[in-house]
Amino acid sequence: MTTHAPLPELDVAAELLSLLRDTTTEPRPDTRLEALTLTVAADLPVLLWGEPGIGKTAALTRLADALDLPLTTVIASVHEPSDFSGLPVLGDDPAEQGVPMAPPDWAVRLVRAGRGLLFLDELSTAPPAVQAALLRLVLERRVGALRLPPGVRIVAAANPRASAADGWELSPPLANRFVHLQWLHEHEVVVRGLGGTWPRARLPRLDPAALPDAVAFARRAVCAFLDARPGLVHRLPSGETRRGGAWPSPRSWEMALFLLAFATAAGSSREVLSLLVRGTVGDGPGLELLAWLDRMDLPDPETLLADPDAAELPERGDLRQAVLDAVVAAVRARPERSRWDAAWAVLVRAVETGAPDVVVVPARTLASLRRESWEVPASIERLGGAVALSRRADRAAARTAAKAAR
């Protein structure tokens, strides 16, 4: 009878560790993961912000596996500036050939592979001198005398200064070269992942037929927005902390344009687009751009005035309000009896097809534009209920406020 010798204890431990590390992935909607993969697809440097232990490094490891990209991790805080700018190496004749800057071994491996995911970890613990050396790497993708190939993508991770070991704020020039994504954990994702199944990252499926229209839309949207808001083309925040995040500049607006085109071609949700835009130009300018995008598809008020009976109004209340305000503004800009009557017909259409409260303010404004010779149209009677209801609500609110003030 053959007996098997017992396995050494460390071999048994290794087998147990292998079972614990044996996990799988599944497709799962994840807005942050989709925003990350879109940024990687757009070949833009992305920086993940999050508290220690929240899973930033694990997410990057799974991303590299899913995209079949070799992962190269560089801990920025333990390197010298010369590790990124290159070490000077004397040749045979420096006067003739100059002094080349030798790149580090990890950069050589990336160039040889022709592709990969370069992960710059612990970025917020890198001192200012190292951050300055990273500028050329992040923007020009140069390390010493080497240029990283197009197949290499750059992703970084950082902890907020308050929770980073010997943390530094990111310098404004370096921060403005990244798309900033706030990395948060989701309870369900963590629980299911600890059970052995993590979300699967995949590159977005871009519709080839939609690419030209996506580019045209992104250019039109960003250019029209900045034409209307020139003060947002470049706005360096005043606070040191905010300068180390996303803020608007010509460079970051170009990144926002790229991401808007990619998100449009991929059919991404508004939540994903919001993360991308706000992570590029900051919360305030990003939200303004999103509101601008909503209004780009609104119907032309002149078209509505020309045929109010066929008016198709947005379902969302804020967008419907914006359309009605635009119709009244168009009448104010060119007040004519026929246009005034048509505007009332549009308001009636809004009452018939949606919540009546959105017509109250436009109706009052439109009524103030009436000339003495203009007769009140019969259709205005159909708005009486909405206006009366609004007045009763205003009086009730005033009574409640008066009681609270006693």
Phi, psi angles (nearest 5°) of residue 356: -75, -15
The region, left, alpha or beta by phi > 0 then psi within -120 to 50, assigned to residue 43 is: left
The region, left, alpha or beta by phi > 0 then psi within -120 to 50, assigned to residue 116 is: left
- Provide the 3-class DSSP secondary structure of residue 146: strand
Could you tell me which residues come within 8 angstroms of residue 233 by beta carbon, excluding any fewer than 6 positions away?
A: 226, 248, 249, 250, 253
Determine the distance from the C-alpha atom of residue 313 to the mean position of all C-alpha atoms in its chain, rounded to a whole number. 28
**In a 10 Å sphere around its CB, with 0-12 CB exposed, 13-18 middle and 19+ buried, how is residue 311 labelled?**
buried
Neighbouring C-alpha atoms within 13 Å toward the C-beta of 4: 3
For residue 397, the model assigns a pLDDT of 47
Residue of 174, 194, 172 lying closest to 185 (CA atoms): 194
Q: How far apart are CA 358 and CA 354, in angstroms?
A: 9
Task: For 255-302, give the DSSP string.
Answer: HHHHHHHHHHHHT--HHHHHHHHHHHH-HHHHHHHHHHHHHHTSPPHH
**In a 10 Å sphere around its CB, with 0-12 CB exposed, 13-18 middle and 19+ buried, how is residue 50 labelled?**
buried
Tens-binned pLDDT, residue by residue, of the chain (406 aa): 556 666 688 888 989 999 998 888 888 888 899 999 999 999 999 999 988 888 888 888 888 888 889 999 998 888 888 878 776 665 555 555 555 667 888 888 999 999 999 999 988 888 888 888 899 899 889 888 789 999 999 999 998 876 655 667 889 999 999 999 998 878 888 888 888 888 887 888 898 999 999 999 999 999 989 988 899 999 999 888 889 999 999 999 999 999 999 999 999 999 999 999 999 999 999 999 998 888 887 888 898 999 888 888 888 888 888 888 889 999 999 999 999 999 988 988 888 887 777 888 888 888 888 888 888 777 776 676 555 544 444 454 455 556 666 6
CB 31 within 8 A of CB 186: no
pTM of the full predicted structure? 0.76
Dihedral over Cα of 294, 300, 304, 307: its sign = negative
Q: How far apart are CA 95 and CA 291, in angstroms?
A: 59
CB 71 within 8 A of CB 61: yes
CB 323 within 8 A of CB 314: yes
CB 376 within 8 A of CB 339: no
Amino acid code (one letter) for 53: G
